[in-house]
Amino acid sequence: MVNLFIDNRAVTVPDGASILEAAQQINIRIPTLCYLDLGELKMVNKTASCRICSVEVEGRRNLAPACATPAAEGMKVTTNSKRVLFARRRLLELLLSDHPFTCLTCAKSTDCELQTLAWEFGINTQRYQGEKSEFPIDKTSGALKRDPDKCIRCRRCETMCNEVQTVHALTAYGRGFTVTVAPAEMQPLAESNCTYCGQCVSVCPTAALTGHGYIQETWAALFDPTKKVVVQVAPAIRAAIGEEFGIPIGTAVTGKLVAGLRRMGFDAVFDTSWGADLTILEEANEIIKRVSANENLPILTSCCPGWINFVKYQFPELKYMPSTCKSPQQMTGTIAKTFYAEKIGVKPQDLIMISVMPCLAKKYEANRPEHQTSGARDVDYVITTRELSKMLKESGVDLRYMPDEEFDNPLGEATGAGVIFGVTGGVLEAALRTVYEKVTGAELADVNFEAVRGWKDVREATIDLGSRTVNVAVASGLGNARKLLENIEKGTSKYDVIEIMACPGGCVNGGGQPYSHERLETIQARTQALYEIDDHKTIRKSHENPSIIKLYEEYLGEPGSHKAHELLHTEYWY
């Protein structure tokens, strides 16, 4: 243990703790900007590049960055002397001298950590006028938007991308004033090995990295009298969007969200969880086939486009392993533009499918050329939870005061299995509920597969299917996925089925979710909210979903049928 004094107050901290951590322990707040510690998500950024957390340490000539300076025995630290406050203010003003003053029109306004600091410091003038960075904006991916002029070189995105996700798409390019964080050779993102998982966006303190917006396109569709406009909402949205309206974290607002979307003018409000149930029927069928034939194992889930991109770029020889099932978003889009369009007598071209996702990679997925089963785009535009909350606010919808309404049929009736698709482990758990009953013919006594839930890097379970046991594993975060894939490559993997979600914790922590400053608590609360919905559902197994059963009877035949293959499967080895 180390004893030190901060602002004349004694504090004892464990060895290796920083001055910042010591100060936090006695509720002394030191402002930070580049520093970020996401705890169990294992993302720590202490590049000490912004120096906003500068403090005075007795006996040292220079100010020390509190985030990266270890506490030492007998140290005397001052956090709010004239020298410290003056230096912090100048540092902030220098950062602002090369930052656009366009807060009013900035996508990150009110969620920007630089803006918050400027507000807290009472900055009221642009003290330093000097050279400004001028880099082009990169919107090539249609998923992420990179605006390097707003970058403060904190390197959080780099730490997230390279160390946590192990995607290695970003580097500090150049040096001195012209340095910027970019893909190799300053390539556009679309030409890099970026997976569009969007975790960099969720840690960027400014608007240097944001999502590619489709708000205008969505409004244009809604106000086009010649189009019928339907919307699908991903499971993770209902557990998070309430946060944007001051509703306590972890409150599921499913019914209010449906009512809000109707008031915005959508002709029908569908549930992506319904598509998730459909995915499970197709995927369970594929799992049973591949496992009983013992070929091409393990089967990897294919719901997460960030993860699929990761396989494509970094493990190309494993590209035949993911299930061929389209993701729930694309299945819902396809069925809406075929089955549903036929049913209501609208041409697919005149039906617009908007999809609300917690995700940026979904924007990329929807844009992929092969996803136009009906001739028209399966999903026309993808907006994030953040974008939807802005649109709701613009049209005067306050979720707090909405009544609870039900999704529209036939693409709205979902089981508990479809809802837990939004958390890590959920896809596998949903699949196991169906696989177990289909293979054994017996009813599952307890539908909760606790072993695959939670936060551990890799969670595993062995399921007894009577004729054979299956070994399954779950990982979220691409860094954890890499470990599993390397074992498959080496031939040491003992698993039959593996679920991967690109974002740590799953879709509840997706790159399109509301920004959160107490990230871990927030994600856990959102996770809990989805499990509670599942708990309270009467039907908790996808194959018991009456509207899915009806869809097969009326339209698709049976899981894995020729028609199902045509509509609901794709090739991921593009």
Partner 1 sequence: MARVNPQPEERVLPPELYAQLDAFIEELHISPDDARRKDTLIQVLHKAQGLFGFLPEELQLHIADRFAVSHAEVSGVISFYNYFTTTPKGKYRINVCLGTACYVNGAEKVLQEFERVLGIKAGQVTADGKFSIESLRCVGACGLAPVITINDKVYGKVQPGKAHDILEHYLVEIVGEEVPLYA
Write out the catalytic residue numbers.
283, 286, 303, 323, 362, 365, 370, 507
Contact (Cβ atoms closer than 8 angstroms) between residue 63 and residue 79: no
455 contributes a contact to partner 1 by CB under 8 A: no
Between 168 and 227, name the residue whose CB sits nearer to partner 1. Answer: 168
**Binding residues among 484-513 for partner 1 as defined by CB under 8 A:** 486
DSSP 386-411: HHHHHHHHHTT--GGGPPP-PPPSSS
The helix/strand/coil state of 478 is helix
**Smallest distance, partner 1 to C-beta of residue 161, A:** 9
**Residue among 94, 172, 451, 520 that touches partner 1 (CB under 8 A):** 172
| Length of the chain in terms of residues written | 574
Stretch that binds partner 1, among 9-17, 64-72, 119-127, 165-173 (CB under 8 A): 165-173
Q: How far apart are CA 215 and CA 406, in angstroms?
A: 24
Applying CB under 8 A, among 31, 183, 250, 298 the residue interacting with partner 1 is 183
Residues 300-319 that bind partner 1 (CB under 8 A): 313-316
In the complex, the smallest distance separating the C-beta of residue 171 from partner 1, rounded to whole angstroms, is: 3
Minimum CB distance to partner 1 smaller for 181 or for 231: 181
Place of tokens 């890799």: 458
User: In the bound complex, what is the minimum distance in angstroms from residue 27's beta carbon to partner 1?
Assistant: 38
> Token pair of 31, please?
């402002």
Helix (H/G/I), strand (E/B), else coil: 40: helix
For partner 1, the closer of residues 172 and 520 by Cβ is 172
140 near partner 1, judged by CB under 8 A: no
Among 3, 140, 171, 440, binds partner 1 (CB under 8 A): 171
Tokens describing residue 285: 């069928």
Q: Shortest gap between Cβ of 198 and partner 1 (angstroms)?
A: 18
By CB under 8 A, name the one of 169, 264, 359, 392 that touches partner 1: 169
CA–CA gap between residue 155 and residue 181 (Å, rounded): 7
HSE (CB half, 13 Å, CA atoms) of 374? 26
What three-state secondary structure class fits 325? strand
Q: What residue has token string 């993770």?
A: 236
Tell me if the bond preceding 298 is cis, omega within 30° of 0: yes
Using the contact rule CB under 8 A, the part of the chain among 74-82, 162-170, 245-253, 353-361 near partner 1 is 162-170
The span from the CA of 565 to the CA of 282, in Å, is: 9
Binding-site size for partner 1 (CB under 8 A) equals: 22
CA distances from 380 to 117, 333, 357, 478, 558 (A): 38, 9, 13, 28, 28
Cα–Cα distance measured from residue 538 to residue 229, given in angstroms and rounded to the nearest whole number:
30
φ, ψ of residue 383 in degrees (nearest 5)? -115, 155
Q: Residue 185 interacts with partner 1 (CB under 8 A)? A: yes
Binder among 42, 89, 139, 168 for partner 1 (CB under 8 A): 168
One-letter amino acid at 87 equals: A
Tell me the per-residue interface mask from 193 to 232 with partner 1, x by CB under 8 A, - otherwise: x---------------------------------------
Which residues make up the interface to partner 1 (CB under 8 A)? 162, 166-175, 183-185, 192-193, 313-316, 482, 486
